[in-house]
Structure 1
Amino acid sequence: MRKNCLLLLLMLLSSLPLYAKQSQITGLRIWSAPDHVRLVFDANSQISHKIFTLKGPDRLVLDLKNTTLTEHLPDPTKENKIIRGMRSAVRDKRDMRVVFDLTSAVKPKSFSLKPNREYGHRLVIDLYDDKHTAARRTQPVKTAKALGKRDVVIAVDPGHGGEDPGARGVKGTYEKDVVLAIGRKLVAAINKQKGMRAVLIRDGDYYLGLRKRIAKAREAQADLFVSIHADAFHNRKVRGSSVYTLSRSGASNEAARWLAERENSADLVGGVSLEDKDDMLASVLLDLSQIGTLQASSEAANRVLRQLKGLGKTHKRRVQQAGFVVLKSPDIPSMLVETAFISNPDEERRLRSKKHQQKVATALMKGIRDYFKFQPPPGTLLASNQARKAPRKHVISRGETLIAIANRYQVSVSRLRNANELKGDTIRIGQVLQIPGG
């Protein structure tokens, strides 16, 4: 009996520290994006939580289990238009309830983040405006036909942002800040070019999910997607810019992902929905689209890299391939530009310079402009101007197909056959094809 009592006492004592140890909220940061507000609670450990909304009036309730506040939280109403008040109270002696008074209904999403080099444990809550979300779902999409001789559209995407600072230089420079500055200058430079128009995917200090960036580019009906970054490495002597496109393995993996979600894949492949296609046909359509997209990405990236070489040393002499998620759109040629190594003190200093930022933006614009002068999309002003010039030529390389070449130059296979007096789709390495104009 005595032995059993002693064992029970030991069990109770061992459980007390676990019960007594509360998680602590140490801070709150707020980031405002065009379509949502992000709340980031800093904590000393992972927090068990629950969120739900109430109406009459609209409120968001956050229940934090076994949690306490260690300091006064900042007023969230100063940073956004969704939250108009916040209050908190202790529940059941050990839990915390935080109530946010809202100006309108929201769709909340929450998740936890593990510690990284910048922050400790975090609880993230994204508040999406319910009315804004519904309006975006029902907004009609303009077609190229309705626009006539339209401008070429370039989606400029400064990497990272908000809670994700990216790399940091030895002087404390954040990647997210310098790439946003370069991105804004690139947009301004592109918009000065006749027949070209740029859209800025991230236009502030907030975070966008990687596939959300692709979706925004697609909403803008972009002809090219350019993601801007600044590299980092543990060796501070490493320097130079690089340009990446999607690797073949990356494309293959993403193709499988797109096919798995084909119910929501309308207009992914040149305006062709995969919703009513069987698996084999959908796979062929998507594969052909990606072949043309990867070739176009490579051509555009090479022209951009050529311009960057004029600014100084490049880290890699050739365009590199990698499986970056942000490059995995099957229908938009895409590239990722590492403008410099922010971990290199000299390059960090240059990245902070507005003069150098402008030089980088100008080089990127020239490379993009060169690409679209060489390969303007049909229905654009640039294509119309090119149609008056001599037809383009293409030399067949190993592994190319007539369908892929037609896709690359955005002409029909039948026109390509007629222009070269081909009876079928057979072509040979080294053969020169005439590419019909616009």
Structure 2
Amino acid sequence: MNKNKYFTPCVIFLLACVFSLSSYAANTLAGVRIWAAPESTRVVFDLSASPQYSHFTLTNPYRVVVDLKEGRTSVNLKKIANNSKIVKGIRISTPPKKGTLRLVIDLTKPVKANLFSLSPTAPYGNRLVVDLDDSQKVSQEIKSKNLTVPKKVRDVIVAIDAGHGGDDPGSIAASGVYEKKVVLQIAKKLAAKINATPGMKAVMTRTGDYFVNLNKRSEIARNSKADLLISIHADAFTSPRPKGASVWVLSMRRANSEIGRWLEQKEKHSELLGGAGEIIQNTDNEQYLAMTLLDMSMDRSMAMSHNVAGKVLSHLGKVTQLHKSKPESASFAVLKSPDIPSILVETGFISNAREAKLLTQKEHQTNLSNAVYKGVLTYFKANPPTNSYFASQAQTRHTVRKGESLSVLAQRYRVSMASIKKVNRLKSDGLRIGQKLIIPKA
């Protein structure tokens, strides 16, 4: 028997297995996406497997170097879309050893780099995320804002948060409509209405297609001294049947319905999808939050949130079907700021084919944004913040009726008799039936 006759095919088979395993072990870089935000940039590397990596930064010139173990790519890095003011470009460099893919992110300035991997979540596979934060610019902007001399009559500040963004698409309709896109369009329309109103100003947590960490959204509202935070979303469920808009406020207890609990988990999952490296990293923050919830300011904030939510719902019900006619409660991360009254508006179910189509239509988006605007405006005109333009315009007028005296009116409106006399230039305490008075703000 000729042993070589059988030896040669065996060798070929073993070599094929070795090459096959080698090919299988390689982590292929399939694509690169750059998401630019005003104060940061996110670079996402799409990979065929969970990455094993290391990184370091260099100066003169500034750059971030990422070494991807067993990495390879055929992507033309020169043709990647890039609108970042931080990233000059991305290139491949000589690796420290064979089998490593060295990626270099060339920068325009020194930035803080934060790297983390994300596991597959539709529509994306394995990813390596590089967050580049222009922290110096952020701190300078915050410092300059704090140095601004407050006006005697201030605007009512409304922070508008378009949910998701960038690498976090939010819910996706069967037709391919992305939640992140439609909610940004609605948010921009709402901001335009608010900015066109004397005495009001809108501040948006994001103005383009990029991700903002959930904790950062509240921080933006706080640094802007917002009177209210409105987070705009489009709902989704495992079944296409549910439909209608709803408004959510913070609950100090667990979500009070099955769909509330489902949504709560969805938003936590969304947080992982969009910024796993920046999630609260120690339990002290949660303990601090729990303690703050006991404070009276939280009670006031929640009471105001419920009030605003009710008014927004009443106007939404005139332009679209409601999923719930009363405000719902859940522990959404974006609503956890204890010092800022906050509501989350679900504009409809993107998992419902009809509503998904409606949410892409400009007329429906305008109707939804107008409804939210009217609810907010109604609240602040009835409850103007101290020193605001609305407060300066708010004057209660009263026509004196039989049996009413200055002391009775002072007690009813909870103001002093002297203040009523002063604003109406009264020389005595006597009143006459039919007399018209201006009642000063309490």
TM range (shorter): 0.7 to 0.9
Alignment partner, residue 120 of structure 2: 115
Alignment partner, residue 374 of structure 2: 366
Q: From the superposition, tell whether residues 130 and 381 of structure 1 become closer, same or farther in structure 2 (CA, over 3 Å).
A: closer
Q: What per-residue deviation string (whole Å, max 9, x for no partner) do you get for residues 38-87 of structure 1? A: 10001111111112111111121111122222433354573222222332
Contact map agreement 2:78 2:91 (CA 8 A) in 1: no
2:185 and 2:209 map into 1 onto residues whose CA distance is 11
Q: From the superposition, tell whether residues 175 and 22 of structure 1 become closer, same or farther in structure 2 (CA, over 3 Å).
A: same
Deviation at 1:248, TM superposition (A): 1.7
The one-letter amino acid paired with 1:311 is: V
Q: Identity across aligned pairs (percent)?
A: 41
Paired residues for 1:4-43 under 5 Å: 17=21, 21-43=25-47
Deviation at 1:137, TM superposition (A): 5.4
1:198 and 1:136 map into 2 onto residues whose CA distance is 17
Alignment partner, residue 196 of structure 2: 192
Alignment partner, residue 158 of structure 2: 154
Q: What per-residue deviation string (whole Å, max 9, x for no partner) do you get for residues 266-287 of structure 1? A: xxxxxxxxxxxxxxxx947961
Paired residues for 1:335-354 under 5 Å: 335-354=343-362
Q: What per-residue deviation string (whole Å, max 9, x for no partner) do you get for residues 370-391 of structure 1? A: 111121111101112224456x
Structure 1 stretches lacking a partner, 5+ long: 1-12, 263-281, 391-414, 422-434
Could you tell which deviates more after superposition, 19-28 or 215-224? 19-28
1:416 and 1:124 map into 2 onto residues whose CA distance is 62
The one-letter amino acid paired with 1:355 is: E
Alignment partner, residue 410 of structure 1: none
The one-letter amino acid paired with 2:196 is: K
Contact map agreement 1:77 1:85 (CA 8 A) in 2: no
Deviation at 1:20, TM superposition (A): 6.7
Contact map agreement 2:34 2:82 (CA 8 A) in 1: no
Alignment partner, residue 92 of structure 1: 97
> What secondary structure does 1:31 align onto?
strand
2:201 and 2:414 map into 1 onto residues whose CA distance is 31
2:52 and 2:198 map into 1 onto residues whose CA distance is 55
The one-letter amino acid paired with 1:107 is: K
Alignment partner, residue 164 of structure 1: 168
Q: What per-residue deviation string (whole Å, max 9, x for no partner) do you get for residues 341-367 of structure 1? A: 111111111111111110001001000
TM-score normalised according to structure 2 size: 0.76
Contact map agreement 2:142 2:223 (CA 8 A) in 1: no
Paired residues for 1:315-334 under 5 Å: 315-334=323-342
Q: From the superposition, tell whether residues 327 and 77 of structure 1 become closer, same or farther in structure 2 (CA, over 3 Å).
A: same
Alignment partner, residue 396 of structure 1: none
2:129 and 2:248 map into 1 onto residues whose CA distance is 31
> What secondary structure does 1:147 align onto?
coil
1:141 and 1:250 map into 2 onto residues whose CA distance is 36
1:120 and 1:106 map into 2 onto residues whose CA distance is 27
Alignment partner, residue 426 of structure 1: none
Q: From the superposition, tell whether residues 54 and 22 of structure 1 become closer, same or farther in structure 2 (CA, over 3 Å).
A: same
1:63 counterpart = 2:67: yes
Contact map agreement 1:113 1:124 (CA 8 A) in 2: yes
Paired residues for 1:303-322 under 5 Å: 303-322=311-330
> What secondary structure does 1:221 align onto?
coil
1:128 counterpart = 2:133: yes
Contact map agreement 2:396 2:440 (CA 8 A) in 1: no
> What secondary structure does 1:370 align onto?
helix
Q: From the superposition, tell whether residues 284 and 46 of structure 1 become closer, same or farther in structure 2 (CA, over 3 Å).
A: closer
2:440 and 2:167 map into 1 onto residues whose CA distance is 48
Alignment partner, residue 364 of structure 2: 356
Contact map agreement 1:105 1:131 (CA 8 A) in 2: no
1:177 counterpart = 2:181: yes
1:289 counterpart = 2:297: yes
The one-letter amino acid paired with 1:372 is: F
RMSD: 3.2
The one-letter amino acid paired with 1:58 is: Y
Contact map agreement 1:419 1:436 (CA 8 A) in 2: no
Contact map agreement 2:78 2:89 (CA 8 A) in 1: no
1:116 and 1:291 map into 2 onto residues whose CA distance is 37
1:389 and 1:150 map into 2 onto residues whose CA distance is 23
Contact map agreement 2:415 2:440 (CA 8 A) in 1: no
Structure 2 stretches lacking a partner, 5+ long: 1-16, 256-279, 399-409, 417-438
Q: From the superposition, tell whether residues 379 and 70 of structure 1 become closer, same or farther in structure 2 (CA, over 3 Å).
A: same
TM-score normalised according to structure 1 size: 0.77
Q: From the superposition, tell whether residues 388 and 258 of structure 1 become closer, same or farther in structure 2 (CA, over 3 Å).
A: farther
1:105 and 1:416 map into 2 onto residues whose CA distance is 62
> What secondary structure does 2:150 align onto?
helix
Contact map agreement 2:34 2:81 (CA 8 A) in 1: no
Alignment partner, residue 431 of structure 1: none
Q: From the superposition, tell whether residues 416 and 124 of structure 1 become closer, same or farther in structure 2 (CA, over 3 Å).
A: farther
Whose radius of gyration is greater, 1 or 2?
2
Paired residues for 1:163-242 under 5 Å: 163-242=167-246
Q: From the superposition, tell whether residues 110 and 177 of structure 1 become closer, same or farther in structure 2 (CA, over 3 Å).
A: same
Could you tell which deviates more after superposition, 114-123 or 72-81? 72-81
The one-letter amino acid paired with 2:129 is: V
Paired residues for 1:392-431 under 5 Å: 419=414
Deviation at 1:146, TM superposition (A): 2.2
The one-letter amino acid paired with 1:345 is: A
The one-letter amino acid paired with 2:125 is: G
Deviation at 1:420, TM superposition (A): 8.9
Could you tell which deviates more after superposition, 299-308 or 95-104? 95-104
1:384 counterpart = 2:389: no
Deviation at 1:96, TM superposition (A): 1.2
